[in-house]
Amino acid sequence: MPSGQALVLWEILWEKVEGQEDVQAVLRFIAPGVAREGGTVDAEAAMLDMDWLCETHAMPLASMSYARSDMVIVNLMDRPVARGETDPNATQYFGVYRIADGGCLPEDG
């Protein structure tokens, strides 16, 4: 982990992309280091961590023949938040990637 923060893998999901036949892999991690109060990992470091997690964890999962996915979302959160829900007290970062050319390519917005 580039930032050195400790993570816990919270869940891995495969979600249908609305209006498409594709699925996206979603990897969600508890990352207390990103907390607004008492956290030691800023947004830039969190992005580097998500890039690393995509390359080391999401790519192998997304390339499995029975769970192939060209889109990956990596989510870091300081506390558990149900997928699709909001928590105004939680800090969350999301990285969206396309798997192409043997790597994770960040998607712009």
Number of domains in the chain: 1
DSSP per-residue string spanning 2-59: TT----EEEEEEEEEPTTSS-EEEEEEEE-GGG-TTT----HHHHHHHHHHHIIIIIH
Domain that holds residue 92: 8-106
Which pTM value belongs to this model? 0.91
Is 74 inside any structural domain?
A: yes
DSSP one-letter code for 79: S
Is 2 inside any structural domain?
A: no
Cβ atoms of 59 and 95 within 8 Å: the answer is: no
Is 40 inside any structural domain?
A: yes
Residue 109 tokens read as 């917005």
- Strand pairing of 23-30 and 71-77? parallel
Is 3 inside any structural domain?
A: no
pLDDT at position 109 over 60: no
Express each pLDDT in 17-58 by its tens digit.
888 788 899 999 999 999 999 999 999 999 999 999 999 999
Express each pLDDT in 48-107 by its tens digit.
999 999 999 999 888 887 778 889 999 999 999 999 899 999 999 999 999 988 899 999
